[in-house]
A and B are shown apart, each in its own frame.
Chain A
Amino acid sequence: MADTLGQSSDRSASTTRNVSAALGVLVLALAPQLVELLWSFATIFGVSGRSTLQVLSAHGAALLLAVPNYLAGANGKGLGSDTLLALIYSYPLFAVAILSLLIKPKGPQDYFGGVALVALALFALWASSDLQGMRGFSFGAGTAPRMFGILLLALGAGVALMGLLAEGPQLATYHWRGPLFVTLSILSFSAAIRPLGLVVSAFAAFMIAGMGTPETRWKETIIVGICLTIGCSLLFPYALGLPLQLFPRFLVQ
């Protein structure tokens, strides 16, 4: 691909790619914190969890003060979980983000695949950091997860390194339409199946999934959707005897 572009435009394209790649890794480095921040908005509606302000201050402090805290508290004992998250997960990925800014990987597909695996391994290491380790020669609850975590860390780093140094394929293009509507369809199904029953949720999910491709013709889709809904409501509860509720709860009662 890059060969077909002119030399100069290739260079400018690569610098923008570098910045966006580094930004991508940066977001990945802060992903757990961001997820908790998003989740904290839901606490307004009574979902259990820390409030937005608490999340912001706790993670902000942890990210800023992780190193001094670590040096003060000997050997990482007694550090809070947020500080550990910053130390184990975010800081190493910050380093990767800076690296991504400076060096252009030769095989981006492998490089970013490897980086994501590294992030996953670091996250697992953080998540199992509160578990007990070896007791004498018997395994604790945390031994195996940590073992596999470190192994994945090494392998992910290996894959990333290969992508960095060896010529490899470019990033594949992602499409948004299919993934978005299929995911929405799945989400709507899982949200609706309990309160609204099989008939409503299956039909709604069918229609949402149908939006996943521009080729959809609506009349046809609605007819097939109705047929499928009828078929499913006969097949699963009756023919297979699964305990599924067919109609909305408020209608049944």
Chain B
Amino acid sequence: MADLFSNLALGFGVAFTPINLMLCLIGALVGTLVGVLPGIGTIATVAMLLPITFGLPPVGALIMLAGIYYGAQYGGSTTSILVNIPGEAGSVVTALDGFQMAKQGRAGPALAIAAIGSFFAGCVATVLIAVLGAPLTKLALAFGPAEYFSLMVLGLIFAVVLAKGSVLKAIAMIVFGLLLSMVGSDIETGASRMAFNIPELADGLGFATVAMGLFGFAEIIRNLDAGSESDRELVQQKVTGLMPTAKDLKDSAPAILRGTVLGSILGILPGGGAVIASFAAYTLEKKISRHPERFGRGAIEGVAAPESANNAAAQTSFIPLLTLGIPPNAVMALMVGAMTIHGIVPGPQVMQKQPELVWGMIASMWVGNLMLLIINLPLVGIWVRLLRVPYRLMFPCIVIFCAIGIYSVNNAPVDVILAGVFGLVGYWLIKHDFEPAPLLLGMVLGPLMEENLRRALLISRGDWSVFLTRPLSAVLMAIAAFLLVLALLPSLRKKRDEVFVESEN
């Protein structure tokens, strides 16, 4: 316990330096700014803003990125509430009741409750990370290559089970990602793989490049299809009366609490996280409410619960990343990309070797949440004005920002072209109803999986049963198999689809 406090003290010492506070503030602001833009989700925001952190020292860069992440999430919910265009799956649920509230002229309380709920969830999750981080790191030391491989399989299966739509297609996307990660030099032999003698490919496909293409460019192209102007119905009334009434607070307090608990648990699980947490929290609220018919008509619990769950899950999903070095979702995968660029290999050793980095980041998460609460409520007016900028002017700006961003990663024009290619690939994927997020996760986990698979089989002298004979690995594999079977069972599939369908109407 004393350990915990000294660690947190160390963390807050790092986070409260003026420079890091500044970076956290800028990150949260810029993240919100980009996240507010309709049609740009959290992943796209983080991918787009990744390059601006490259010039910073590692601790500062990660703190800023964490700020961007929360800002983007908060920005996404602002858009969902005000314009009814959720930037990503996670805030789809918020749009249901949030937009209804906004239509009734209660956009202010909706936004405020979202911020308060997120802040509360963030506080709880920060403590949870601090408490669970150290013991889980010890657990990680018991992990051999076989266990790592099994855990990653489990994580990927989780991602599949929780993804929307066909299980088969989601698995196919993961394998597509794994295959893409094979491009470049082989780690052990140095042989060039599938690079076609193109020098820019010798180092592999840049992660930021692919992410920006699949989520940035593809999203823009798709939005252009839709006839962007027609389906945007911005709440025209002025957002007044920010403060929720006492009744609002009383109604939403238990919802926030339940959302936080649910989100914290779901966030730790690899592969799941924010999306399913908000769906689950919304469904739970609707189930236990005495007046379920109010949901979808502007019930404040319908905003409070998913927003808290979303934020709690976003934060606890740092746990598998920091302790095991395994990114549980696409945003965390981007974080891994950022860490590797700064020469940090995430995993248990980081916690021991660079405690100021890990604890500084954990502390700054809390600071970031606080800042969001403080800066965003007064700034709602600005975000509303930003939302009035027509898409025909906004999208070329986003294209240029993305292009400059990708170019500045390596100063390589080829990277920009590759991102463009992946933009078209992403557009194609959307048209064929494939989800790009599992692809990104597969791409990050690919090299890790290959390395651990190789090692495990080398140690076991080529015996594939090692994954089932080592107890920890066997348990992980069994859970993965169980989940996969569950996901394929028709009865459960129907339920799962219902959850998603319900949220779309």
Interface string of B407-427 (1 = CB under 8 A from A): 110010110110110011001
Interface residue? A142 (CB, 8 A): yes
Most buried by A among B172, B395, B433, B454: B172
Q: Tell me how far the C-beta of A8 lies from the nearest C-beta in chain B, rounded to whole angstroms.
A: 29
Interface contact A228-B191, CB-CB below 8 Å: no
Which residues in B have their C-beta under 8 angstroms from that of A156?
A: 172
Interface residue? A248 (CB, 8 A): no
Interface residue? A31 (CB, 8 A): no
Which residues in A have their C-beta under 8 angstroms from that of B186?
A: 131, 141
Could you say which of B196, B224, B414 contacts A213, with CB atoms under 8 Å apart?
B224
Number of residues of chain B lying within 8 A (CB) of chain A: 67
Interface residue? A12 (CB, 8 A): no
Interface contact A178-B225, CB-CB below 8 Å: yes
Interface string of A100-129 (1 = CB under 8 A from B): 000000000110111011001100100110
Interface residue? A225 (CB, 8 A): yes
Most buried by A among B166, B413, B419: B413
Interface residue? B381 (CB, 8 A): no
The distance in angstroms between the C-alpha atoms of A210 and B229, with both chains bound, is: 15
Could you say which of A137, A142, A186 contacts B423, with CB atoms under 8 Å apart?
A186
Segment among A15-23, A63-71, A86-94, A167-175 that sits at the interface with chain B: A167-175
Could you say which of B196, B417, B427 contacts A190, with CB atoms under 8 Å apart?
B417
Could you say which of A127, A179, A202, A207 contacts B194, with CB atoms under 8 Å apart?
A127
Interface contact A132-B191, CB-CB below 8 Å: yes
Interface contact B172-A182, CB-CB below 8 Å: no
Q: Tell me how far the C-beta of B494 lies from the nearest C-beta in chain A, rounded to whole angstroms.
A: 15
The total of interchain contacts (Cβ-Cβ below 8 angstroms) comes to: 206
Whether A240 contacts B52 in the complex (CB less than 8 A), given A128-B194, A187-B420, A206-B396, comes out as yes
Q: Tell me how far the C-beta of B165 lies from the nearest C-beta in chain A, rounded to whole angstroms.
A: 10
Whether A193 contacts B417 in the complex (CB less than 8 A), given A145-B179, A155-B172, A228-B400, comes out as no
Interface contact B416-A124, CB-CB below 8 Å: no
Which residues in A have their C-beta under 8 angstroms from that of B178?
A: 148, 151
Interface contact B179-A124, CB-CB below 8 Å: yes
Interface contact A178-B172, CB-CB below 8 Å: no
Interface members, chain A 207-249 (any B CB < 8 Å): 207, 209-210, 212-213, 215-217, 220-221, 224-225, 228, 232, 236, 240-244
Interface contact A224-B393, CB-CB below 8 Å: yes
Interface residue? A30 (CB, 8 A): no
Interface contact A179-B427, CB-CB below 8 Å: yes
Interface residue? A84 (CB, 8 A): no
Interface members, chain B 200-234 (any A CB < 8 Å): 217, 220-222, 224-225, 228-229
Most buried by B among A128, A183, A189, A232: A189
Interface members, chain A 136-194 (any B CB < 8 Å): 136-142, 144-145, 148-149, 151-152, 155-156, 158-159, 162, 169, 171-172, 174-175, 177-179, 182-183, 185-187, 189-191, 193-194
Interface contact B416-A189, CB-CB below 8 Å: yes
Interface residue? B375 (CB, 8 A): no
Interface contact A177-B393, CB-CB below 8 Å: no
Could you say which of A109, A191, A213 contacts B413, with CB atoms under 8 Å apart?
A191
Interface contact A209-B175, CB-CB below 8 Å: no
The distance in angstroms between the C-alpha atoms of A224 and B397, with both chains bound, is: 9
The distance in angstroms between the C-alpha atoms of A186 and B416, with both chains bound, is: 7
Which residues in A have their C-beta under 8 angstroms from that of B229?
A: 215
Q: Tell me how far the C-beta of A158 lies from the nearest C-beta in chain B, rounded to whole angstroms.
A: 5
Interface residue? A198 (CB, 8 A): yes
Interface contact A182-B399, CB-CB below 8 Å: yes
Which residues in B have their C-beta under 8 angstroms from that of A202?
A: 400, 403-404
Interface residue? B495 (CB, 8 A): no
Interface contact B224-A178, CB-CB below 8 Å: yes
Interface contact B461-A137, CB-CB below 8 Å: yes
The distance in angstroms between the C-alpha atoms of A132 and B431, with both chains bound, is: 37
Please, which residue of chain B has its CB at the minimum distance from the CB of A162? Answer: B168
The distance in angstroms between the C-alpha atoms of A228 and B399, with both chains bound, is: 11
Interface contact B424-A159, CB-CB below 8 Å: no
Interface contact A228-B397, CB-CB below 8 Å: yes
Interface residue? B96 (CB, 8 A): no
Interface contact A242-B55, CB-CB below 8 Å: yes
Please, which residue of chain B has its CB at the minimum distance from the CB of A120? Answer: B176
The distance in angstroms between the C-alpha atoms of A127 and B420, with both chains bound, is: 22
Please, which residue of chain A has its CB at the minimum distance from the CB of B454? Answer: A139
Whether A159 contacts B168 in the complex (CB less than 8 A), given A132-B191, A151-B175, A240-B55, comes out as yes
Could you say which of B51, B179, B188, B189 contacts A121, with CB atoms under 8 Å apart?
B179
The distance in angstroms between the C-alpha atoms of A110 and B169, with both chains bound, is: 9
Q: Tell me how far the C-beta of A211 lies from the nearest C-beta in chain B, rounded to whole angstroms.
A: 9
Could you say which of B408, B423, B433, B461 contacts A242, with CB atoms under 8 Å apart?
B408
Interface string of B172-199 (1 = CB under 8 A from A): 1001101100100010110101101000
Residues on B close to A: CB < 8 A?
51-52, 54-55, 166, 168-169, 171-172, 175-176, 178-179, 182, 186, 188-189, 191, 193-194, 196, 217, 220-222, 224-225, 228-229, 390-393, 395-397, 399-401, 403-404, 407-408, 411, 413-414, 416-417, 419-420, 423-424, 427-428, 431-434, 446, 450, 453-454, 457-458, 461-463
- Could you name 16 residue pairs across A and B whose Cβ atoms are closer than 8 Å? A110-B166, A139-B188, A144-B453, A145-B193, A155-B172, A159-B166, A159-B168, A175-B224, A177-B224, A183-B424, A190-B417, A202-B403, A213-B391, A213-B395, A228-B397, A241-B55
Q: Add 14 more A-B contacts to A136-B462, A216-B392 (CB < 8 A).
A: A110-B169, A127-B193, A137-B461, A138-B458, A141-B189, A141-B191, A169-B433, A174-B431, A190-B417, A206-B399, A213-B392, A215-B390, A236-B404, A243-B411
